[in-house]
Structure 1
Amino acid sequence: MLHTFAVANYRSLRDLKLKLEPLTLVTGANGSGKSNLYRALRLLQVAANGRLAEAIANEGGIPSLQWAGPADTRSQRKRGVAIQGTRRHEALRITFGFASDDVAYRIELGLPPGGESRFNLDPEVKAEYVWQAPPQRKGNTWLEREGAATQLRGADGNWQRLGFRVDAARSVLSELAEPQRFPEVFALRERLRSWRFYDGFRTDADSPLRQPRTSVRTPVLADDGRDLAAALQTIIEIGDAGALHTAVDDAFPGSRIAILGDDARLEVGLDVEGLLRPLHATELSDGTLRYLCLLAALMSPRPPQLLVLNEPEQSLHPDLLKPLARQIVAASKHSQVWVISHAPKLVAAIEDAANLVAIELAREFGETRVVGQGPLDEPAWP
């Protein structure tokens, strides 16, 4: 389980450290930095998949992602003076990292060196580390990358320099994909690649959710929900079908999932009490389709280590928020779940169902902070 997530100098996240639980709920007003937090966590997975440069270029490149405020705001606020720019003593680096029960990881990104190139939006990995658990020490570190040099600790405890140069714009996790030679790095890479992120589902008339789709057993719902019918049928056949039907009835009393189509193509449907035929996907409301996608994600027969839902309340009727909260809490018994929401009713329902208190974000002088968290309350990092 992840117990710490840390990010620095990424958009409004100047220096943020979060303590994570089996179910972590993050809330805050619009503009408080929730979406930045979600993107930061997802960039860790993107790095492991080898698509870091592409993802950062799509966000505008390193200059657009870097913290735009002054290097020092806390001391200025303590002194009660107006916030103003200060001289930087070192180059600004964007840093992401996490610590789990058995391993910790950190990657630092910066601007590439100057020169004539059409790829100046590419990041440069300045440093990368893998160690056993915070605090980081030389003795518990087993991968260290600084600049162009990468070294790993061998089975005999001695450091060995990597025999080739890692692309400056790529994470070492995406390059060392040989389980026999680099078992620890490979295991960490696969862990990050297994994380699942769901950030809204298209439900317009042309959405894949409303069209018959190829019939393939699908234990893991795609991030855009395009294989919803197959994912629901997979739960019915090899997952907890009873729990799925109960969850549908909880949200839509008197209704039951109906997977329509033939053996070649499947379509989502819903049997509704009082109707003589099932409703097809084209007839279902946006909120109903999105809710069914969330059920498919939360009730996967192959639960992930980490499941992240970003604003799952989109287009949902308020009456669906309590049933959704119950399913989120149930999923947290099998996976670590992280929910980011600004819907007070959903936040309150999850807090009540799970007996927890949400982490609230707020923005002060452009910087995202955890409400009520002081320096002594932050988890140890690195």
Structure 2
Amino acid sequence: MLRTLAIENYRSLHNLQLSLGRLTVVTGANGSGKSNLYRALRLLSETVQEGVVHGIAREGGLDSCFWAGPEQSSASVLRGESSVEALRSHNAKRIRMGFAGTDFSYAMSLGLPEPDAGEAENLRTLFGRDPQIKREVIWSGPIFRPAAVLVERKGPAVRMREQRGWRTLTTQLPEFYSLFDTCGSIDCPEVETLRQTVRSWRFYDYFRTDIDAPARQPQLGTRTPILHGSGRDLAAALQTIREIGDPVRLDEAIDDAFKGAIMQVIVRDGLFVLSLRQPGMLRPLLASELSDGTLRYLLLVAALLTPRPPSLMVLNEPENSLHPDLLPALARLIAKVAIHSQVWIVSHSSRLVSALEQSSDCTSIELEKHLGRTRVIGQSGLLSGPVWNWPS
């Protein structure tokens, strides 16, 4: 389980540390930094799975990801008594991200290349704005200590702790690669364990429910333990839950939202078609006929009740298109799922947040923005936030 998330110099997240629970709810006004927090966690995931370069590129490049304000602000600026002024910085610009887990923790630092002036002509490249990973560290336990370091990367060199000394894994790791791209299970089991953990993280941030949405279309059915991010295999995912997952909880989740309704997957011309029979109807409604809210709720049910639970599931604004009366049922389902998987919810809905906060496992975080910086309401000073130390 993740216990702490730390972000520095990424968009509005100038210096933010968050304590996470088994069920974490993040809320706040528009523009407070919820989306940036979601993007930061997703970027950490992509660093392990696809590489940081592609993740940064999708966000417009590293320059657009850097914190745009000053490195430091005086007390008068923070109180609003004087204006923000740009100061010449003598420090290299770095984005730092990390998380503390129950067993292993990880942090990375990335920035732009720093070519040697004397070799600039020989090393000229059109990819000079690609981000480079300068530092990566894996350590044991939730709090960084030099004695707890298991694997560390400085520039192109990666080494791991071995008994009382260190063993070099490579000295030629390209700086646009993460150590997760090269170090495997045989030479470094700690890297492999963390890699598999992060690869299991699951993100759902947008389900189409328009008339041409993939979830409304008949699809060839194959066993689907994990719903695709587009929802295109909804019928197969729900049928998989019924056959090899938890059919009782599936029926309970549907009945909780639509009293007396029965979900069924039918086969037509070899294709799976989702149907929902509701009380008072002479025939079941097919996926193409369901309302946007009903279809979205079924998509969330399929995502949450996966027969292959992830270590972390993140839902970004799941309340979209849902009638307020469906939110308590969704909150009850999320709370049940959080018993087996860590769940992170980003939401605008006060009703959904209030319902989720009824769970004893819920950690509620409300964000606000002050002078461009995202901060946690109620978290002021070093002693009010989680314990976090960046690797030097």
Task: Provide the rounded CA distance (Å) in 2 between the counterparts of 1:175 and 1:213.
Answer: 37
Matched, 1:168 2:175: yes
Task: Provide the rounded CA distance (Å) in 2 between the counterparts of 1:345 and 1:37.
Answer: 22
Aligned to 1:4: 4
Identity across matched positions, percent? 49
Aligned to 1:24: 24
Task: Provide the rounded CA distance (Å) in 2 between the counterparts of 1:51 and 1:272.
Answer: 46
Aligned to 1:97: 98
Task: Provide the rounded CA distance (Å) in 2 between the counterparts of 1:223 and 1:350.
Answer: 23
Q: Which moved more, 1:100-109 or 1:75-84?
A: 75-84
Task: Tell me if the contact between 1:219 and 1:301 (Cα under 8 Å) persists in the aligned partners.
Answer: yes
1:355–1:219 distance in 2 versus 1, CA, 3 Å? closer
TM-score by length of 2: 0.93
Deviation at 1:96, TM superposition (A): 0.9
Matched, 1:376 2:383: yes
- The residue type paired with residue 273 of structure 1 is P
Task: Provide the rounded CA distance (Å) in 1 between the counterparts of 2:359 and 2:147.
Answer: 42
Deviation at 1:74, TM superposition (A): 5.8
1:342 counterpart SS class? coil
Deviation at 1:248, TM superposition (A): 0.7
1:90–1:285 distance in 2 versus 1, CA, 3 Å? same
Task: Provide the rounded CA distance (Å) in 2 between the counterparts of 1:80 and 1:144.
Answer: 43
Aligned to 1:127: 135
Aligned to 2:73: 73
Aligned to 2:231: 225
Residue pairs, 1:222-371, within 5 angstroms? 222-262=228-268, 264-354=270-360, 356=362, 358-371=364-377
Q: Which moved more, 1:342-351 or 1:84-93?
A: 84-93
1:295–1:79 distance in 2 versus 1, CA, 3 Å? closer
1:227–1:63 distance in 2 versus 1, CA, 3 Å? same
Task: Tell me if the contact between 1:6 and 1:381 (Cα under 8 Å) persists in the aligned partners.
Answer: yes
Aligned to 2:52: 52
The match for 2:212 among 206, 214, 219 is 206
Deviation at 1:112, TM superposition (A): 2.1
Q: Which moved more, 1:233-242 or 1:31-40?
A: 233-242
Aligned to 1:63: 63
Task: Provide the rounded CA distance (Å) in 1 between the counterparts of 2:92 and 2:353.
Answer: 39
Task: Provide the rounded CA distance (Å) in 1 between the counterparts of 2:343 and 2:50.
Answer: 24
The match for 1:137 among 123, 145, 155 is 145
Task: Tell me if the contact between 1:153 and 1:160 (Cα under 8 Å) persists in the aligned partners.
Answer: yes
RMSD, matched Cα: 1.7
Aligned to 1:113: 114
Residue pairs, 1:143-154, within 5 angstroms? 143-154=151-162
1:136–1:213 distance in 2 versus 1, CA, 3 Å? same
Q: Which moved more, 1:262-271 or 1:330-339?
A: 262-271
Deviation at 1:205, TM superposition (A): 2.2
Structure 1: gaps (5+ residues): none
2:141 counterpart SS class? coil
1:187 counterpart SS class? helix
Matched, 1:185 2:191: yes
Task: Tell me if the contact between 1:48 and 1:174 (Cα under 8 Å) persists in the aligned partners.
Answer: yes
1:263–1:153 distance in 2 versus 1, CA, 3 Å? farther
Task: Provide the rounded CA distance (Å) in 1 between the counterparts of 2:261 and 2:332.
Answer: 18
Structure 2: gaps (5+ residues): none
Deviation at 1:82, TM superposition (A): 2.6
Task: Provide the rounded CA distance (Å) in 2 between the counterparts of 1:311 and 1:18.
Answer: 19
Task: Provide the rounded CA distance (Å) in 2 between the counterparts of 1:21 and 1:189.
Answer: 21
Task: Provide the rounded CA distance (Å) in 2 between the counterparts of 1:195 and 1:174.
Answer: 17
Task: Provide the rounded CA distance (Å) in 2 between the counterparts of 1:118 and 1:229.
Answer: 46
Task: Provide the rounded CA distance (Å) in 2 between the counterparts of 1:344 and 1:276.
Answer: 37
1:285–1:354 distance in 2 versus 1, CA, 3 Å? farther
Deviation digits for residues 220-246 of structure 1 (CA, Å, limit 9, x no counterpart) = 111222211111001111111111111
Aligned to 2:84: 83
Task: Tell me if the contact between 2:6 and 2:16 (Cα under 8 Å) persists in the aligned partners.
Answer: yes
Task: Provide the rounded CA distance (Å) in 2 between the counterparts of 1:192 and 1:271.
Answer: 39
Task: Provide the rounded CA distance (Å) in 2 between the counterparts of 1:213 and 1:245.
Answer: 22
Deviation at 1:338, TM superposition (A): 0.7
Task: Tell me if the contact between 1:325 and 1:353 (Cα under 8 Å) persists in the aligned partners.
Answer: no
Task: Tell me if the contact between 2:103 and 2:142 (Cα under 8 Å) persists in the aligned partners.
Answer: no
Task: Provide the rounded CA distance (Å) in 1 between the counterparts of 2:74 and 2:37.
Answer: 20
Task: Tell me if the contact between 1:329 and 1:354 (Cα under 8 Å) persists in the aligned partners.
Answer: no
Deviation at 1:166, TM superposition (A): 1.7
Task: Provide the rounded CA distance (Å) in 2 between the counterparts of 1:326 and 1:74.
Answer: 45
2:194 counterpart SS class? helix
Task: Provide the rounded CA distance (Å) in 2 between the counterparts of 1:163 and 1:19.
Answer: 34
Task: Provide the rounded CA distance (Å) in 1 between the counterparts of 2:66 and 2:365.
Answer: 24
Deviation at 1:79, TM superposition (A): 9.1
TM-score by length of 1: 0.95
1:357–1:55 distance in 2 versus 1, CA, 3 Å? closer
Task: Provide the rounded CA distance (Å) in 1 between the counterparts of 2:363 and 2:386.
Answer: 17
Deviation at 1:323, TM superposition (A): 0.6
